[in-house]
Structure 1
């Protein structure tokens, strides 16, 4: 079994983000990343944007990066030469947002969107190619929206349901998230002018009350469709949430049975199982506003790909890859550390004993989540936030906690990881309690 390996330091992180040469950016300046595997190579397509701290002129057309190992990322260039004519005429956009690639019947389809911040005068288009490396041929409009429409035609995500029917999941801010059928041959709407079905929304159509960046997967083991969305402002308090459904058009319910499309519930920030938000460990290791994710399933292992910002340099953002695990009842969990080549393998009970720097992602907590210390004892006791739990190792990487007075239970998954802050191997956990609240932690040395 392979453990984590020391990754590159990316020119001490910040220098790389500020470099005026895109060839040096690696994971930096990659916003709204969508991951796709073709053969043995991983590709990420992302929004045409960069930190305002660099004067680099990179053009437009959807950024592309590639990797052979999910760790080292190489700049490829742009998929298209600027904003396609029809998209520009409808939106006057200067760049493309949130591109995504899917392969159907031997043809690659590149979906892109164009808009301007704060408006739903938006356009989703599609280009095709016989190769992931292009050239891409623009096929024009899939869907466009205006002030007359309730949806917002941005953030396209493609999925095929269990019956082989393709859908586009899309939307942001205005009216929520929609699912609409596509024609797999053309890549366009199966029914002209069809907006689809609303599957998630919030009552507040502002950046503080946003729901956007949808990404849906189907997990065959649990027989659920999982809808991942990002809540709140991408500049400060972005966070990733999830609901699941037996049907691709919903209803998508969170851990507590609340419907992601229920915009009458107050407060709406209690809807959606919160998987990842801004956090900071006590050694300063942490990230702000993680969100707009995609999901990669690779030979049975799942990874989440998202962007995040540096807490003390809010203008700087980068792409991150993290391992995903699953609870016994089929809810996703996210590693607290970026992927560094580790595989899931048995963790001995003795390695779990000690002090752990821990973060809880409380649903109603806004912004950064700061850590606290818990201690796991050899006598099967665990102290956390003035409560004493009994803990039992129930699997190779699984621990169950129980608290007698309240009946609270917690399921934790342990895995090897690379501590990027301290540049050493470590052990981490990710888990969920019986209220659907997620926890992450890393062992203190």
Structure 2
């Protein structure tokens, strides 16, 4: 891009002020020297990415970035990350075709285009009028990219999962027809939507799919064709809820070599507001999948919201309207790091749906938890130098209740130098158990040994609400409830 030479000195001057101000914050925000160094935090993302609502870009796809993203699945090809997502557009009718975006860093996303220009005649006729694509997933296998997609008649089991293939991740794509089809009058249980593809530890492909119409199933695929290995089988039921009033959909599975476990993620709640992500795990690809409290994901006896370990849900920190509809996730392993993508709708206007990417952190007992802040990059330097003095100060704290799917809001949390929480002489206390792990002890006479315990990992992140670097924590309490924290001041009472 050409720039006029006359503006260069101004740009340089402004850049110096910004960089200088950021450095001053990072190194001098606490006179006791407890802030980390500048290169121990992620770099500031572009400010424009923090715009939740921007009517000026509604009809300009090149400016959508994370806007209008729904049900995105993610794949890395060479040095690029790609997402494939549902046809969606705020304040308008979306063009059918499966949206494609790409990024070098999972922060700055550009719109590539669409896989198709219309739903196939076969899919439209089978679904009795389905005219847009839902919830795609894509994998690379046999030197070919396999793209799985859904077409459905909304609110029915008239559904169709199809397959397209290409030798290039950006296409062109060739439609290979149906993988599995369901209709209201058939003798199947499953609903053919929301395909999630995984290659098991032996190298065999599987598809998990389904919804609250019948639950979530997993079925093996033919490695040579990408379609069902046994065409007449709907697979094994691995998750369900009491009835159709209890939403469940959007399954995905990842495998962790360190724990030798498969992790099933799926979404509960309504996509516009209470959407949230739950997780369960199994040593076997076909289950059974158990949550943190050893509840089987197919168990209907309780029929409550208290099955599945919630790791992402609607939330709001201070100084922000928060995010709703935080569900339908994708998963990616990149080297030794794991990430989750999911929808997020603006707290002030739930029709604006964005792509969120967050880092996954693994607990000491092998459960995935999620950063309370969106991904903004990896710091240049590790946080091995994290000390107790870094942790002392004022925080925001929230819990993602498994029972209540309404928006979680934060409360104030003070961590004192003497190890106490909120009151210098109170019974609640905290301690550091490793270089980046702390435990919060909450006194309760009815708790085991009189204390409930949160075990959380501390990490440096970008504070999107206050637009500055900060420390956050994420973890689980003894009951498997996710807890999030964000540091807002290094000095007590500031």
Q: Secondary structure of 2:163's partner? A: strand
- The within-5 A match list for 1:58-73 is 59-73=95-109
Structure 1 residue ranges without an equivalent (≥5): none
1:36 to 37, 50, 75: 75
CA displacement at 1:59 relative to structure 2 = 2.0
Which residue of structure 1 lines up, in the alignment, with residue 351 of structure 2?
A: 315
Q: Following the alignment from structure 2 to structure 1, what is the Cα–Cα distance between the partners of residues 48 and 175?
A: 34
Q: Following the alignment from structure 1 to structure 2, what is the Cα–Cα distance between the partners of residues 388 and 332?
A: 30
1:259 aligned onto 2:296? yes
Which residue of structure 1 lines up, in the alignment, with residue 487 of structure 2?
A: 443
Q: Secondary structure of 2:289's partner? A: coil
1:410 to 454, 460, 465: 454
Q: Secondary structure of 2:96's partner? A: coil
Q: Secondary structure of 1:444's partner? A: strand
Distance change >3 Å, CA 142–CA 443, structure 1 → 2: same
Contact 1:387/1:403 (<8 A) preserved: no
Q: Secondary structure of 2:123's partner? A: helix
Contact 1:16/1:25 (<8 A) preserved: no
Q: Following the alignment from structure 1 to structure 2, what is the Cα–Cα distance between the partners of residues 127 and 167?
A: 16
Which residue of structure 1 lines up, in the alignment, with residue 123 of structure 2?
A: 87
CA displacement at 1:444 relative to structure 2 = 1.6
Q: Following the alignment from structure 1 to structure 2, what is the Cα–Cα distance between the partners of residues 45 and 345?
A: 34
Contact 2:436/2:458 (<8 A) preserved: yes
Contact 1:2/1:341 (<8 A) preserved: no
1:357 to 379, 387, 396: 396
Contact 1:285/1:421 (<8 A) preserved: no
CA displacement at 1:387 relative to structure 2 = 7.4
How many residues align? The count is 438
Distance change >3 Å, CA 318–CA 412, structure 1 → 2: same
Which residue of structure 2 lines up, in the alignment, with residue 144 of structure 1?
A: 181
Contact 1:308/1:317 (<8 A) preserved: yes
2:140 to 93, 96, 103: 103
1:210 aligned onto 2:254? no
CA displacement at 1:285 relative to structure 2 = 5.2
Which residue of structure 2 lines up, in the alignment, with residue 8 of structure 1?
A: 46
**Bigger mean CA offset, 272-281 vs 4-13:** 4-13
Which residue of structure 2 lines up, in the alignment, with residue 236 of structure 1?
A: 273
1:140-166 residue CA offsets vs partner (Å, 9 max, x unmatched): 010001112321100001112122221
Structure 2 residue ranges without an equivalent (≥5): 1-38, 490-494
1:380 to 419, 439, 459: 419
Q: Secondary structure of 1:410's partner? A: strand
2:263 to 226, 230, 238: 226
Which residue of structure 1 lines up, in the alignment, with residue 110 of structure 2?
A: 74
**Bigger mean CA offset, 82-91 vs 328-337:** 82-91
TM, length-normalised to structure 1:
0.95
CA displacement at 1:50 relative to structure 2 = 1.4
Q: Following the alignment from structure 1 to structure 2, what is the Cα–Cα distance between the partners of residues 388 and 113?
A: 53
Q: Following the alignment from structure 2 to structure 1, what is the Cα–Cα distance between the partners of residues 162 and 72?
A: 18
CA displacement at 1:390 relative to structure 2 = 3.3
Contact 1:417/1:425 (<8 A) preserved: yes
1:295-338 residue CA offsets vs partner (Å, 9 max, x unmatched): 11111111110011111211111100011101000111111111
Q: Following the alignment from structure 1 to structure 2, what is the Cα–Cα distance between the partners of residues 31 and 7?
A: 22
TM, length-normalised to structure 2:
0.85
Q: Secondary structure of 1:95's partner? A: coil
CA displacement at 1:265 relative to structure 2 = 1.8
Q: Following the alignment from structure 1 to structure 2, what is the Cα–Cα distance between the partners of residues 376 and 167?
A: 46
